[in-house]
Structure 1
Amino acid sequence: MRNEWWKDAVIYQIYPKSFKDANGDGIGDLAGIQEKLPYLKELGVDALWLSPVYLSPQVDNGYDISDYYQIDPMFGTNEDMVQLIREAHKLDLKIIMDFVANHTSDQCQWFQESRKSKENPYSDFYIWQDGKADGSEPNNWGSSFGGSAWTWDDSRQQYYLHYYAKEQPDLNWENPRVRQAIYDMMIYWKNLGVDGWRLDVITSISKDWDFPDNPRPFAKNNQHNGPRMHEFIHEMNQKVLTPFDMMSVGEAPASGAEDAHLLVDPKRQELDMVFTFQHMHIDRKKGDVNDRWALQAPDFIQLKQIMSQWQKELEGRGWNALYFENHDRARIVSRWGDDDSYRYESATAFATILHGMKGTPFVYQGEEIGMTNPKFPLADYIDVELKGNFQHYVEQQQTLTAEEFLAAVHKVSRDNARTPMPWNDSANGGFSTGTPWFQLNPNYPDINVLADQKAQKSVFHYYQKLIRLRHEEAILKEGSYRLLLPEHPTIFAYERRLKRKKWLVVANLSDSPQELQALLPLTAGEIRLSNYQDSLAQSRLRPYESFIYESGTKTEKL
């Protein structure tokens, strides 16, 4: 019987490069993470997910791995990783590593060998194809980072496939030797104490080898969920995840609520959880040629529908992974909330909605203090995706102006989540004594860990209370879910029930007061948690007000 510890857990994601620098070189490291373990224990989380710390040229901030067996010297050594795992375990904190199995760096020895010829032992570790008769790309697939998903290699005289940057060639999972090499690496880290895996774009590992053209030439790749995806993931489960009792959460860009159970139903023995992208697209203009950079006001009715559908569809046949922020997503208070007048209120309102649901909540570093997007000038951003997309949409396609692109960057760029963690208001926010690899958000003197913990309106302390509720109250883990007020444009409200206990989770996701009593009369009960300091004004919801309310007949404590 597997230990399903993640169902009781809150998981904290660390972006190591930006978390805490212990040696003063301007780059966060494993020693810095170890230094902050007491802080994470104080927050109340149960496990730490570390974005990649393997050896990498850092073209895509570590998601381009050149050696899966080595910690990159910028983060420390393999011994430092073992020490971090050991110290975390002493505090009952589990360690989840981020594993990239769809692609490697072009500096990986496998690729360097593969590109030499069509005959060497690594020749089919990657996906090589001849060009068309005119010498052009094998098909019109587009890279997620802009341009073609194919790059010509002079040494091999063929094109190789890369769903992301040209420095990130895709592995050929049809080759059983590739699959076994992946499993061997996972087992290596398990033997060093790792407790689980976040699997980067794992649903992209199977390709359609007919290589059909997309309807729109060189549009962002949509070749996910290939024909052998489930077969490959099940094999990974049987070779590694189940025998070594390792938790797994997979990034699943194309999975919807209606088919996610095929990945996470325990009977199928594939993954424990997946990250959906659906709810993070409610501010995106669907079908626009500018893809993720074509924005609109967030549609909270759609947000409610999507998140509720995932609750419903996975009930009894899978487990939800709950998130609003991560290393690829902007700060929620700047994207959908109010990062000025109601920063505390909107940060805690979105947290209430997320943590009140059934599933495992993920907290991204800085989310627990209400960090905001920095709004830098365009030249100050460094993300490879941003640079590639600027070239594609602004310079080549000319479907966006530089000003329009920058406005979208300020809302949704991945760099918004990657500014270094501000621990206090000292130089560099206490992140580093050296020059940080990426500049801090200019508001760090006001928004930092120490200031937030001392504040009357503390996002950190609110997260502590939310996490404590999840640990103490079975209703949040086991209770049923029912959406209320599905058509209301700004009130997100739902009911959780377990036996005779009923909780209401309510949030106003706007800066305008909203009538409440006529829409959702509250029976006798008690407030379990509220983000306003004074008592609940039952007749209306104030801007970004949220609460968890226990109503009806009281029962024994569960």
Structure 2
Amino acid sequence: MNNNPWWKGGIIYQIYPRSYMDSNGDGIGDLPGITSKLDYIASLGVDAIWLSPFFKSPMKDFGYDVSDYCDVDPMFGTLDDFKALVARAHELGLKVMIDQVLSHTSDQHPWFTESRSNRTNPKADWYVWADPKPDGTAPNNWLSIFGGSSWQWDTQRQQYYLHNFLTSQPDLNFHNPEVFQANLDNMRFWLDLGVDGFRLDTVNLYYHSAGLQDNPPHPEGTPYINSVDASNPYVRQTHQYDLSQPENLNFLKAMRDLLNEYDDRSMVGEIGVDHTDPLQRMAEYTAGGDKLHMAYTFDLLSPEHSADYFRRVMTTFKANAGDAWPCWASSNHDVKRSATRWGEQEDPNQFPLVSMAMLMSLRGSVCLYQGEELGLPEADVPFEALQDPYGIEFWPEYTGRDGCRTPMVWNADQGAGFSEAKPWLPVDPRHLALSVETQEQQNDSMLHKMRQFIQWRQQQPALIKGDMELVEETGEAFIFTRQSDEQSLLVAINMTGTELTVPYSGAIKAVLTGHGFSGRYEHGAIVLPPYQALFAEV
């Protein structure tokens, strides 16, 4: 089926380069390693890949602290390796999206080295600098997502600089037009190399309030921000002045104008830690056709996964969406894998598949995280092996992000086929039995079933681009319709271990097959065995 534009309803496969495939035996994944596995990714039937950062970096936050936006870190290879990756992906019909970490740089970026040298240099205002209060304390009460104040004293400038993450990740000052333009120029560099789009890290953190007002406390009795662990003091504030500022929209429009200069390019933004409803922000940032093409929030990256919760999320989004287009994800490199976060009490062989089918049946595009096609659970990483500074800081109440970042398991050997050397993070022994090689040899494996479902889904116009209407009063079953000009489908999902029977009075033309699920329609009712789904033309 011709899907134009490709991103609308597309499936994007996220790759964490450090952990995908090591080609040179140093224990760390790299770009040539990814290129060697592109045939496997294409066999899944996805539309695109998204590469987490591979730019030059001191790796204090594993690439999300960029020291050169326009080059590849030697750890991952060279620019020529990247060009070869893009060429091979395009040969296989895969689009290539790359991360852009624009809100902050590494403190080792030449821009910051110049900016901190004095208060009069050409880049003096490229970062967010502020004088201390008369008593020497920080300019305001803003907090870092990684713990403590978001202000760090710099002895060279005798001022504080802002950092929403690590102290080694100073925030850029987007109020400066030169910073605004420099980031667009960095994006143009990669567009000219042939990338098909961008995933934009922390897309609502580009601007801060120029007035540096204190944030108010988070109201008692209201939910904590769902993308930050509740043990983190960051959740105690309503982040009214340090993120999601109105000026952000101007930069999103400028990025869209840039991409419009090229054919068939796309952007997906990450919206997190918002003090308002993030679904409203997602709608605001993607509506109108002049900002982001699509965005995702942490609403499906939370522990909640009941049918009632999904209905609330979809109802809230629709109430605000207009023509906005979401991109849904249930796992990524920052959160506990959904097979554990949602499925810890469920059947590990059946639950991951039906949860992925649910995700890929929603109105919107989809990000699948490497290993989700295998049903990988969250890895157990002992404290002494932790690499994530976030996890080390908040251990043991919060164990960090390393458990979802462990190496991809290609075979059941000790090194998982990932590397001939000791991997940068340990392979969880439970993952070995779920390796690609093992599952390829099992006809009823999660991998085969995922491949079957994806390839079936990619032929259903209603699931690609159709509108969505919830069927209410369906209890633990999550039931909705998807309607396009070519097709109208009823989708019924049972993510529980109990058989569900739901009366349905609507007309059903035909129950579809070929997707691998065994839901039935009998005597005016939808019958869903445990962890099963039904797809029917209506």
Query: What's the TM-score once normalised by structure 2's chain length?
Result: 0.89
Question: In the alignment, residue 427 of structure 1 is paired with which amino acid?
Answer: Q
Deviations 1:239-291 (A, max 9, x none): x2211343111111226333433211244x111001112333354xxxxxxxx
1:505 and 2:524 aligned: no
Match of 1:528 among 488, 493, 513: 513
Give the deviation of 1:540 after TM superposition.
4.7
Matched residue, 1:29: 30
User: Which among 444, 447, 472 is matched to residue 457 of structure 1?
Assistant: 444
1:152-551 pair list within 5 angstroms: 152-216=153-217, 219-220=234-235, 222=239, 223-238=242-257, 240-245=258-263, 246-253=265-272, 254=274, 256-267=278-289, 269-281=290-302, 283=304, 298-311=305-318, 313-314=320-321, 317-338=323-344, 342-390=347-395, 402=396, 405=397, 409=399, 413-485=400-472, 488=475, 490-498=476-484, 501-511=487-497, 513-518=498-503, 523=508, 525-528=510-513, 540-543=527-530, 545-551=531-537
Question: Residues 485 and 337 (structure 1 numbering): CA distance in 2 closer, same or farther, change over 3 Å?
Answer: farther
1:111 matched residue in structure 2: 112
CA contact 2:9–2:463 (8 Å) conserved in 1: no
Q: In structure 1, how many angstroms separate the alpha carbons of the residues matched to 2:281 and 2:434?
A: 40
CA distance in 2 between partners of 1:227 and 1:503 (Å): 39
1:140 Cα offset (Å)? 0.9
In structure 1, what is the Cα distance between the partners aligned to 2:211 and 2:168?
Answer: 24
Higher helix share: 1
Output one character per residue of 1:380-416: Cα deviation in whole Å (capped at 9) or x when no partner: 32211122334xxxxxxxxxxx4xx1xx53xxx4222
User: What is the CA distance between 1:17 and its match in structure 2?
Assistant: 0.3
User: What letter is aligned with 2:172?
Assistant: L
Does the aligned pair in 2 maintain the 1:349–1:531 contact within 8 Å?
Answer: no
Query: Does the 8 A contact of 1:55 with 1:66 survive in 2?
Result: yes
Any stretches of 5+ residues in structure 1 without a counterpart? Answer: 284-297, 391-401, 553-558
The residue type equivalent to 2:260 in the other structure is T
Return the offset for 1:468. Answer: 1.8
CA contact (8 A) 1:201 1:252 kept: yes
Shift of 1:89: 1.0
Taking the aligned partners of 1:24 and 1:389, their CA distance within structure 2 comes to 32
- Following TM superposition, by how much is the alpha carbon of 1:363 offset from its aligned partner in structure 2, in angstroms? 0.9
Please say which of residues 443-452 and 21-30 is displaced more in the overlay. Answer: 443-452
User: Deviation of residue 472 (structure 1)?
Assistant: 1.3
Structure 1 contact 103–171 (Cα < 8 Å) conserved: yes
Q: In 2, Cα distance between the equivalents of 1:485 and 1:154? A: 60
Which amino acid in structure 2 is aligned with residue 99 of structure 1? Answer: Q
For 1:441 and 1:119, how far apart are their aligned partners in 2?
52
2:520–2:534 Cα contact (<8 Å) kept = no
CA contact (8 A) 1:344 1:457 kept: no
Distance 1:273 1:167, change over 3 A: same
Aligned residue for 2:366, secondary structure, equals strand
Offset, 1:319? 1.4
- 1:427 aligned counterpart, secondary structure: coil
Asked if 2 retains the 8 angstrom alpha-carbon contact of 1:11 and 1:46, the reply is: yes
Asked if structure 2 preserves the Cα contact closer than 8 Å seen for 1:106 and 1:112, the reply is yes
Partner of 1:41: 42
Q: 1:182 to 1:326 in 2, by over 3 A?
A: same
* One-letter identity of the residue aligned with 1:82: K
- Offset at 1:90? 1.1
Q: Which runs of 5+ in 2 are unaligned?
A: 219-232
Q: CA separation in 2, counterparts of 1:424 and 1:282?
A: 30
- Aligned position for 2:19: 18
Residue type of the alignment partner of 2:364: G
Asked if the contact 2:114–2:123 (Cα under 8 Å) also holds between the matched residues in 1, the reply is: yes
Work out whether residues 44 and 468 of structure 1, in 8 Å CA contact, stay in contact via their aligned partners in 2.
Answer: yes
Offset at 1:500?
A: 8.3
Distance change (3 Å), C-alpha of 1:375 and 1:475: same
**Runs of 4+ displaced beyond 6 Å:** 519-522, 533-539
Contact 2:519 2:527 in 1 (8 A): no
Q: Deviations along 1:64-120, whole A, 9 cap, x unmatched?
A: 000111100010001111111111111111111100000000110111111110011
Work out whether residues 55 and 71 of structure 2, in 8 Å CA contact, stay in contact via their aligned partners in 1: yes
* Cα distance between partner residues in 1 of 2:488 and 2:256: 37
2:430 is paired with a residue whose SS is coil
Contact persistence 2:354–2:494 (CA under 8 A): yes
Q: Is the 8 A contact 1:337 1:510 kept in 2?
A: no
Asked whether the 8 Å contact 1:152–1:159 carries over to 2, the reply is yes
| Contact 2:504 2:526 (C-alpha < 8 Å) held by counterparts | no
CA RMSD of aligned residues (A): 2.4
Contact 1:145 1:386 in 2 (8 A): no
Change (3 A) 1:236 1:498: closer
Aligned to 2:226: none
Cα separation, 1, equivalents of 2:142 and 2:505: 49
Deviates more, 1:470-479 or 1:134-143: 470-479
Moved more, 423-432 or 491-500: 491-500
Deviating more after overlay: 425-434 vs 464-473: 464-473
Q: Counterpart of 2:416 in 1: which secondary structure?
A: helix
Q: Which amino acid aligns with 1:426?
A: D
Instruction: Give, in whole Å, the separation in 1 of the partners of 2:433 and 2:455.
Output: 27
1:185 positional shift:
1.1
Partner of 1:395: none
How many pairs align?
A: 512
Q: Which residue of 2 aligns with 1:393?
A: none
Q: CA deviation at 1:346?
A: 0.8
**CA-CA distance at 1:520 after TM superposition:** 7.6
After superposition, give the CA deviation of every residue in 1:153-202 in whole Å (9 maximum; x if it has no partner): 11111110001111100000011111111111111111111110111112
Structure 1 length-normalised TM: 0.86
Q: Where does residue 230 of structure 2 map in the other structure?
A: none
CA distance in 2, matches of 1:332, 1:519: 30
